[in-house]
Structure 1
Amino acid sequence: MRNAVLAATALLVGLSAGVFFAYSTSVMLALRKVEDRTFIDVMQKINTAILNGWFLTAYVGALLLAVAAVLLHLAPGHRAPLPWLLATLVLYGIVFVVTAALNVPMNDTLDAAGPAAAIADPAAVRQAFEGPWVGWNTVRTVASAGSLLTLAIALIRA
């Protein structure tokens, strides 16, 4: 059971880390080159599209399985990977908190600006969103990658 939970946690943390990494290394770099209304329109569509079962299963499931992995390794004789699992949980917790407290509210604000074609000053809307969103996504990318790395170490120690 412990090994199955560790493997499933690695899969879901890896998938989540991959999403944040993809934004950092391609999506936002490509969108940097488009005009303001296109940027806003595409980000609004992405923010709607990402709320799907596949992403949410990986994103939320990774947190739940990381908690389960910690709990399963509290028993005497199974604690060798525990410090690494705790680090995994803390780092992934950072991803979760940054997403909920910062990136999602920024997404909501961008959506509240209305259709891109109707925004009076799209440059100002973009400027208020893009830099902070990219910065916090970088935090999510680094934290999720760190979470995956510490989980890999935990797997070796298990």
Structure 2
Amino acid sequence: MTVLRTATLVAATVATGLSAGLFYSYACSVMPGLARADDRTFVEAMQRINVAILNGWFALSFAGAMVLLVAAAVLQFRGGGGTAQWWVLAATALYAVLLVVTVTVNVPLNNRLAAAGDPGGGIDLAAVRADFEQVWVRWNVVRALAGTAAFACLARALTLTGL
């Protein structure tokens, strides 16, 4: 049971770190870079990114992180994980914040951006961008912070378990 508990905690940490890193990358490079682009480039790039990210590798780490976090928390509590179990529980709560923000804010914005249509099709690109960019960026920072905090909690849990 100790091996399973440890392996699950390590896997949860890796998956959470991948998600945290993704949202951090958007906050530090992707969105600041696109902020310097014209409206057509911004809208087209974000539409393409939003399609490209819907792939199995992303789904595996993004959704898999929560599955692994819940499993790690259960295994920690069942195995008498001591203080580490509370760090895993905190990480799970923080990752839940990331998921809720994604599902309630960022994905609906992505869907609205997709529904705006082809950037070359005569749509008001400035209005489409204005309705999307500022809110999406703000909430992505929340996701990046929640993911990073979850990752830090898991790192602490790993150290408390002797890893």
For Structure 1 versus Structure 2, the TM-score category normalised by the shorter chain is over 0.9
TM-score after normalising by structure 1: 0.97
Greater Cα offset, 40-49 or 73-82:
73-82
| 1:6-62 deviation digits (Å, cap 9, x = unpaired) | 111111001111100110000001100110011000000000000001111000010
| Mapped pair 1:58 → 2:61 | yes
Counterparts of 2:144 and 2:153 in 1: how far apart (Å)?
14
* Contact residue 109 and residue 136 of structure 2 kept, 8 A: yes
Q: CA deviation at 1:157?
A: 1.4
| 1:64-111 deviation digits (Å, cap 9, x = unpaired) | 000000100112532331111111000000000000111000000000
Matched residues, percent identical? 46
* Gap regions ≥5 residues in structure 1: none
Q: Hey, what does 1:106 align to over in structure 2?
A: 109
Q: CA deviation at 1:156?
A: 1.2
Structure 2 counterpart of 1:90, which letter? A
* Contact residue 113 and residue 119 of structure 1 kept, 8 A: no
Counterparts of 1:119 and 1:21 in 2: how far apart (Å)?
33
| Mapped pair 1:84 → 2:87 | yes
Q: Count residues with an aligned counterpart.
A: 158
| Mapped pair 1:22 → 2:29 | no
Q: CA deviation at 1:151?
A: 0.6
Counterparts of 2:40 and 2:84 in 1: how far apart (Å)?
48
Counterparts of 1:100 and 1:61 in 2: how far apart (Å)?
15
Which one of 3, 6, 9 corresponds to residue 9 of structure 2? Answer: 6
Q: Hey, what does 2:157 align to over in structure 1?
A: 154
* Gap regions ≥5 residues in structure 2: none
Structure 2 counterpart of 1:87, which letter? A
Aligned positions of 1:116-131 closer than 5 A? 116-131=119-134
Q: Provide the aligned C-alpha RMSD in A.
A: 0.9
